[in-house]
Amino acid sequence: MLAIVCPGQGAQTPGMLAPWLELPRTADHLAAFSEAAGVDLTTHGTTSDADTIRDTAVAQPLIVSTSLLALRALEDAVGAPVVPGATSGHSVGEFAAAAVAGVLGDAEAVGLVGHRARFMAEAAAAEPTGMTAVLGGDPDEVAAALEAAGVWPANVNGGGQTVAAGSLEALARFAENPPARARVVPLQVAGAFHTPYMQPALEKFGAVAADWASAAPRTVLISNADGAAYADGTAGADVIARLVAQIAAPVRWDLCQATLADLGVTGLLELAPGGVLKGLARRSLPGVETVAITSPADLPAAQDLVARHSATADSQETAK
């Protein structure tokens, strides 16, 4: 079975869209995405510097747009729609995954993310907060150290990686007394996402998202909240409600990966700007073949993965 996963905030790099704009149709897609988000994604994806694209209001629609551009370019190469057996996205990547699953159209997903990004940027600007990766350490000791410092486990990523979030003062306390055998790395994000600091953003975003056009998923869509798998019969509005709630709730990527394993995924494709989720999968999903699309040069490898693991899924279904 093939799974498609979509990266979250922090995956962006300066100039990452430049090679994609050399492909047919990309410029038109990107123009539509820019209009939907109210952000000049072409400029930000080609010439803006790292500090500019670190801005939450820019980074989130830029990342989701890049993921969807990569998917549509892959479909052009394959010559048919690519519908995986399952899909999931990390944090804002859930919106790209919702488009992969058919819950949202591409432009609708980017447009909705544009609102999310602005509200989260406003919430982040209200107080000096941030996020710090915690690599390694005993999970119980990491959890105890987070609680002692007064910070939240905003991302539980599996593979020995947790992301702490909170006030800059609390993160500094945590860094001064890190858990044994753990490495602490401050992240280049602008706020304490997926914590109670985002409650004002959740409330504003919920009002916008409540009437957003959506459809039932056409393939299994795995939620960041608890790793639950949603498929046919799930209302699109229910998916959107989960996406809204996730703004102030921890990302349980460890549970998403556990669900992928339970579903029998054999091949995992990370859409652009990929790399981080592939690395986590290598540690948490042994035996699963992984490919990350970082540029158009990765499309042949992605096409090969899709062909072989989609065929596996078809043969398994036929054997039932």
- Cα atoms in the Cβ-side hemisphere of radius 13 Å centred on 214: 25
* pLDDT score recorded for residue 271: 98
Kindly report, residue by residue over 97-118, the tens digit of the pLDDT: 999 999 999 999 999 999 999 9
Residues 254 and 148 in one domain: no
Stretch 206-223: mean pLDDT, rounded? Answer: 96
Stretch 157-184: mean pLDDT, rounded? Answer: 94
Contacts of 203 (CB under 8 A, 6+ apart): none
Stretch 35-49: mean pLDDT, rounded? Answer: 97
Residues 113 and 226 in one domain: yes
Q: Alpha-carbon distance 132 to 174, whole Å?
A: 9
Residues 241 and 258 in one domain: yes
Pull the structure tokens for residue 7: 């990266």
| Residue 314 in this model has a pLDDT that exceeds 50 | no
- Domain holding 298: CATH number? 3.40.366.10
Residue given tokens 């078809």 in the structure block: 314
Last residue of a domain, one of 186, 204, 229: 186
Looking at this protein, which amino acid is placed at residue 138? D
Contacts of 42 (CB under 8 A, 6+ apart): 17, 21, 27, 30, 31, 34
The gap from C-alpha 197 to its chain's centroid, in whole angstroms, comes to 20
Contacts of 79 (CB under 8 A, 6+ apart): none
**Into how many domains does the chain fold?**
2
Residues 301 and 182 in one domain: no
Residues 17 and 65 in one domain: yes
Q: Which of 296 and 311 is assigned the larger pLDDT?
A: 296
* pLDDT score recorded for residue 194: 97
What percent of the chain has pLDDT above 90?
A: 91
Residues 121 and 263 in one domain: yes
Give the domain extent around 139: 126-186
Pull the structure tokens for residue 47: 């010439």
| Residue 318 in this model has a pLDDT that exceeds 70 | no
Kindly report, residue by residue over 225-254, the tens digit of the pLDDT: 999 999 878 899 999 999 999 999 999 999
Residues 18 and 164 in one domain: no
| Residue 317 in this model has a pLDDT that exceeds 70 | no
| Residue 136 in this model has a pLDDT that exceeds 80 | yes
Q: Mind telling me the catalytic residues? A: 91, 194
Residues 118 and 130 in one domain: no
| Residue 313 in this model has a pLDDT that exceeds 90 | no
Residues 96 and 40 in one domain: yes
Going by pLDDT thresholds of 50, 70 and 90, the confidence category of residue 189 is confident
* pLDDT score recorded for residue 311: 55
Cα-trace Rg, the chain: 19
* pLDDT score recorded for residue 316: 39
Residues 233 and 103 in one domain: yes
